[in-house]
Structure 1
């Protein structure tokens, strides 16, 4: 069979805009940033649009794409716009010039070229900063320190090893906070930029990021610390790292304690304990004064993701308290705890609740079983309310983008048969929300009708609580082949939001089953911890029970060419076990950057993962002994290599820093040596998620190629 695969349907679905950020410029003017995959130019395009909400109408003036804008932020008053900009220039190191700009209306109020001041801007979820001071004359942001800022007199300085931040952070080693000052009283020299250094910081090397202004002379920031063995453990998807919230006191930026290297020394005080991984500081301002500081935390170490806690510090009296604790074992309909990586940039609303005194709340999106929902969290008593319960059975998943600080919130929502929408919510005094669609995707009539013919359901698996599966299938097609798609992590969750890959396969005539097995987030901390030491058995039994239960329900069948598998990372680990432990059940499996052998971890940015998930203690001094390797081997898919008969497709990202790509490559050779049906595709520029435009497309096409090939041979 030719390997040419028609992926036009997938491309059409994948090119719907995805909303990444939003801000209120005023109560009725919303600025939203979306991302679109461009398959012709093989790139991800970013677009910023302004929506004016007036009465029953919404107007969106034409907004051209600004490819040079890396990040932007509207000031709290709405009077200014901060822009971080990069433009190509082959004459400078790195091939890019960098600028910081402050706009007022259609005019630049202040700008500064920072090409030679620091490296690339940080704009990601974990390390970025972009915050105005209360006077709106200073801006704090995060960028990579200059590589040439090396200790003087050190002959080997440029060769010394400096750890990177791991997966998805190539070349990112030294995030540094910078202050751009363009109009404060002590600034008489025009706009200038200074980096921050710290007096009183931890004896361990401390890297500051994710900063927010609380006053003209105070910034709260998140620190990242090296482990005792000199690592920065990978941070992406891992809110259990050595992080803390710090209070940084800024001096006069033109004062005499400014160092010769252009940095400014700050007095720094750690606010949070060593045993908690604290992050995402946010400051509530009331009546012109910084009033409350809130942040998230998880336990340091243990599972890479778990139930979070929400904390609050009263900035007037200095008292802090835990508002929302971790939830251990909730009932199926009860609040399962917080599962939030970072809070929205400004997450606060203030509601009167029928009295003259306003009550402050945090609005954030969190995983609740197999959905993401919008939570309203009272800062007085910590009570949590679900603003978007699953009442219409469309099974929307939601993400909070911004609030106006009063009673409005802008969100994005989607479902497996409904591409992303931009939605405005008004929260009333009774703490309920009324929602209004601001922007929705453009679907042609044929595609809309076909997508409306799909049905989403959530099926609980008997005697395997809390395991449940999201099912997407045609409402009319019977006896369709079924794809089981377990998520990675393992402490992650498949949610009901739009996914071009799953929707495309459902429209192509497949039933897609996405099991949330024991260890998934959104079901209580008990079930996160329960999986530790039982990977390769408990998660596998949950997934095979899902397959059998769907057969019992008549949703799928055991016929030839009827059961397929797809999964990446720990999902690939599960697939390796399923085709090794149940070789006659599955007709084809596609493994993306899979974990195949737990003991082979030498190049992973998260070596602790392999120990913790195997139920073994981990410390900075841990090494894989023969005894440890034996246990890990017995828990690994490689232990079942001889039983595999299922045709296998491997998809490998050559830049993967999370799972050593030698694991997938060695699996390929082991299957090949045994005469098995196996193919492997390598994507040179992709890292662990295979989420480049090309990586996503090739993943879909290769998966469809394998399934179609197998189905033809089974006829």
Structure 2
């Protein structure tokens, strides 16, 4: 692999260089010749900036047991680009691969099966018309092989009648004709409720099975009408289907990044058609994983309502007896050994060969570690604690071979493998690098631990008062670094210590950033030289990975505790690091932008620049426009029910916590980046804020992305967002060695203009 860049050039060149490191998105093992040799197939992705789209490709490796738990690895073939593929899944033996792809000409979806002799099956799902589009998005998507390797299970949109021809009175010469079936008139305009942000084309999922022997497709019947099924797999003996069912009555609430929706683990018996609930009646259950021996079913479970993400339980069901036990419970206060489970899903293959141990990845404070769980002893072993990498992800565990990726803020992802030793002898693991990415020269990072004041609480309650921030710093220089502060969104999310090329690019270019949010920054523009700076994420109280008590403590305190924590982290960083207090900026999105706007209003002269994505500025206005209206109530400590409508006191409480109420105090130049298709935070929030700030003479610029959603995803969109953010900060923070101080006030000057003035990118 080529070495990392040595010098900081233009922002565009730096980001393009750092974004070339691929992320491994999938891995599968197959047995090769001999019991000790395996083939490892991986799928990778990285931005292809010249072609303005992601570049996806596959790599193949050969692994061989060398004795004493050691592995020898080598490349088995050249990398190959992947075209038009939507989903893929290897069979249990690794001898077959199912691939769902889209034909670029007709737009049809094809489900194919490939083996050592080539393609054995190709089914045009669109032409058959048994269902609509196949689901490829979380949390519904799946592509599951039966153990006999003769059937494939997937989720698709329910088929609907095609639009009827024009009404008779619209057709020349057809006056007086009468529709044969008047009940179907106008059906093409009936509203079909969807699942919200990132799932706006998904409404009524159905379970579908492809029989490879008969080349036939069936839509499985027996799923109750009040459920939307997903995450399906075959039950033991292929006699039924295990799936997650989400309640969608009386109406659907947004599912993206929300693990608190009512859902259960169900078993559909294919012979009798009986559908059985296996998990708790009123809970949020997901991610079923069947053990290799077929005797145990593992899944995650959380509480209904409340925070959209939370600490989860690990539950296990014995298949024959239907008895369920809690393997790991919710952790209120974290310990050094274990901080709780916060993963949105379990790895696709996470069981060890003994059908007793499980390996999974989850945030542990400001790290994401791999944990080994003994399901019988209910014990946890951290397999990666203390490693220099801050983020680990398990890709697959087969035949007791672990395949994972690891990274750090200054180190791109490395692909590593290890042999899982016998029980009670797991540590230390011997990780073997397959693709070892170099660290980026000059960037360093550290974890800052911050103790918030107890605020009159008892000393025992102060255990939930500690939080952390990650500080990324560029090479040392004689001048202090400007600092960009980035509180994360969510608010129940976490900024862990993993590789983000956009953040590394900003740091290489010299920006100091106090980050709590990762939000798709792409390539900056060329021709600009950035100031020297540091990067630091703020995991304020309420972040994942610090215990359920910390998550719950934020409810009713949004706009207060999270804002105070972020500012406290800034003050501590300024005291302990070589940072320039006169050159501070804010970079955030969603709820992080909500925090940033509060900071701008509370201290109008503190920050010299701000760039926000999809900002939350007017809480009551979101009640009728967001796909998660429940959060507006829960965040303020108010009860929510499906039938609840806003009351005057509710609206007043929300408005008091809204940054828009204090917008007249804002003086900082502001860049707004908005997706026109954002279902989570309506783009009208930014439009309203933009108008108010223009009226008060604040330099403000609005970027409107017609196809963008809440995440502003996509190679071209991310690149444009980064370019504009970088230039905005350059304009208002000054260049390296040239802090922009006003001679009369000693503060950084601001762009001036009358009402309606806007500031360009410079």
State the TM-score, normalized to the length of structure 2.
Answer: 0.84
Q: What is residue 317 of structure 2 aligned with on the other side?
A: 313
Tell me what 1:160 maps to: 190
Aligned mates of 2:474, 2:714 — CA distance in 1: 29
Structure 2 matches for 1:258-407, cutoff 5 A? 266-286=273-293, 290-331=294-335, 333-350=336-353, 358=354, 360-391=356-387, 394-404=388-398, 406-407=399-400
- In 2, the alpha carbon distance for the partners of 1:36 and 1:133 equals 32
Aligned partners of 2:544 and 2:551 also within 8 Å: yes
- Deviations, residues 164-215 of structure 1 (Å, cap 9, x unaligned): 11111231112221100122xxxxxx3101111216x3xx621111101122
Please give the alpha-carbon distance, in whole angstroms, between the structure 1 residues aligned to 2:721 and 2:258. 25
Q: How many residues align?
A: 659
| Corresponding residue for residue 746 of structure 2 | none
Once the two structures are TM-superposed, the CA of residue 157 in structure 1 deviates from its matched residue by 2.9
Q: Structure 1 residue aligned with 2:534, among 485, 488, 511? A: 511
In structure 2, distance between residues paired with 1:341 and 1:75: 24
The alpha carbon displacement at 1:155 in A equals 2.8
Q: Which one of the candidate residues 206, 211, 226 is aligned to 1:176? A: 206
**Structure 1 position 587 matched with structure 2 position 581:** no
> Which position in structure 1 is the counterpart of 2:740?
714
Q: Is the 8 A contact 1:196 1:266 kept in 2?
A: no
| Distance in 1 (alpha carbons) for counterparts of 2:157 and 2:78 | 34
- Residues 255-279 of structure 1: per-residue CA shift (max 9 Å, x gap): xxxxxxxxxx932111122321001
Distance 2:244 2:355 in 1: 27
Q: What are the superposed Cα offsets for residues 672-698 of structure 1, whole Å, 9 maximum, x if unpaired?
A: 011111111111111001121122112
Distance in 2 (alpha carbons) for counterparts of 1:216 and 1:388: 36
CA distance in 1 between partners of 2:136 and 2:589 (Å):
26
1:88 aligned partner: 104
When structure 1 is superposed on structure 2, of 571-580 and 138-147 the one drifting more is: 138-147
Q: Does 1:205 align with 2:209?
A: no
1:420: which partner in 2? 413
Shift of 1:48: 2.0
Distance, in Å, in 2 between the alignment partners of 1:515 and 1:554 is 15
Which deviations, in whole Å up to 9, do the C-alpha atoms of 1:311-330 show, x marking residues without a partner? 11111222111111000012
Runs of 4+ in 1 over 6 A off after TM superposition: 149-152
**Contact kept? 1:580, 1:640, Cα under 8 Å:** yes
Secondary structure, in 3 states, of the residue corresponding to 2:492? coil
Contact 1:396 1:497 in 2 (8 A): yes
Q: Distance in 2 between matches of 1:554 and 1:241?
A: 42
Structure 1 residue matching 2:618: 3-state secondary structure: coil
| 1:11 correspondence with 2:33 | no
Aligned mates of 2:44, 2:503 — CA distance in 1? 21
Aligned to 1:258: none
1:110 Cα deviation (Å)? 2.5
Moved more, 56-65 or 692-701: 56-65
SS of residue matched to 2:495:
coil
Aligned position for 1:142: 155
Q: Who is 1:38 aligned against? A: 48
Task: Tell me if 1:217 matches 2:239.
Answer: yes
Q: Is the 8 A contact 2:346 2:360 kept in 1?
A: yes
Aligned partners of 1:359 and 1:380 also within 8 Å = no
User: C-alpha displacement at 1:74, in angstroms?
Assistant: 1.0
Change (3 A) 1:693 1:318: same
Q: Does 1:655 align with 2:677?
A: yes
Please say if residues 395 and 456 of structure 1, whose CA atoms lie closer than 8 Å, have aligned partners that are also in contact. Answer: no
Q: CA deviation at 1:71?
A: 1.2
Offset, 1:502:
1.2
How far is the alpha carbon of 1:111 from its aligned partner? 2.6
- Give how far 1:107 is off: 2.1
Q: What is the match of residue 596 of structure 2? A: 575
1:494-520: CA deviation from partner (whole Å, max 9, x where unpaired):
011001121111101121121000100
Offset from partner CA, 1:311-367 (integer Å, 9 cap, x none): 111112221111110000123x231100110111111013xxxxxxx4611111000
**CA offsets per residue over residues 241-263 of structure 1, 9 Å max, x none?**
12111101113xxxxxxxxxxxx
Distance in 2 (alpha carbons) for counterparts of 1:78 and 1:501: 36
Residues 513-532 of structure 1: pairs in structure 2 closer than 5 A: 513-532=536-555
Secondary structure in structure 1 of the residue aligned to 2:108: strand
For structure 2, the 5+ residue unaligned runs are: 1-9, 32-36, 67-71, 165-180, 454-464, 511-532, 742-762
SS of equivalent residue, structure 1 residue 108: strand
Distance in 1 between residues matched to 2:190 and 2:485, nearest whole Å = 46
Q: CA deviation at 1:604?
A: 0.8
**1:412, distance to aligned residue in structure 2 (A):** 1.0
- Which stretch of structure 1 is more off in the superposition, 5-14 or 415-424? 5-14
Query: Comparing 382-391 with 57-66, which one deviates more in the overlay?
Result: 57-66
Q: 8 Å contact 2:489–2:588 — kept in the other structure?
A: yes
Distance 2:390 2:151 in 1: 40
* TM superposition shift of 1:6: 4.4
Aligned residues of 2:11 and 2:505 also touching (Cα < 8 A): no
Quickly say closer, same or farther: Cα 1:516–1:435, change in 2 above 3 A.
Answer: same
> Hey, what's the Cα distance between the residues in 2 that align with 1:554 and 1:421?
30
In the alignment, the residues of structure 1 paired with residue 139 and residue 244 of structure 2 have an alpha-carbon distance, to the nearest angstrom, of 9
1:393-413 deviation per Cα after TM superposition (whole angstroms, max 9, x unaligned):
x34211111100x32211111
**Aligned residue number for residue 248 of structure 1:** 268
Is residue 225–residue 242 contact of structure 1 (8 Å, CA) maintained in 2? yes
Alignment partner of 1:237 is 2:257: yes
**Whole-angstrom distance in 1 between the partners of 2:361 and 2:672:** 34
Give the aligned partner of residue 82 of structure 2: 66
Partner of 2:495: 494
Matches within 5 A, 1:475-494: 475-477=475-477, 478-494=479-495
Most deviating of 635-644 and 146-155 = 146-155
The whole-number CA distance in structure 1 between the counterparts of 2:690 and 2:612 is 11
Deviation of 1:420 (Å): 0.9
- The answer to whether structure 1 residue 462 and structure 2 residue 451 are counterparts is yes
The two structures, once aligned, show a CA RMSD in angstroms of 1.8
Structure 1 match to 2:572: 549
Secondary structure of 1:7's match?
helix
Q: Quick check: 1:11–1:697 contact (8 Å CA) kept in 2? A: no
Q: What TM-score do the two structures reach when normalised by structure 1?
A: 0.89
Using the TM superposition, give the Cα deviation of residue 640 of structure 1 relative to its aligned residue in structure 2, in angstroms.
Answer: 1.4
Query: Does structure 1 conserve the Cα–Cα contact (< 8 Å) formed by 2:145 and 2:234?
Result: yes
Tell me, yes or no, if the aligned pair for 1:227 and 1:620 is still in contact at 8 Å. Answer: no
Asked if the contact 2:39/2:61 (under 8 Å) is kept, the reply is yes
Per-residue deviation, 1:149 = 7.3
Question: 2-side partners of 1:549 and 1:149: how far apart?
Answer: 62
Q: Which has the larger radius of gyration?
A: 2
Shift, 1:150, TM fit: 9.6
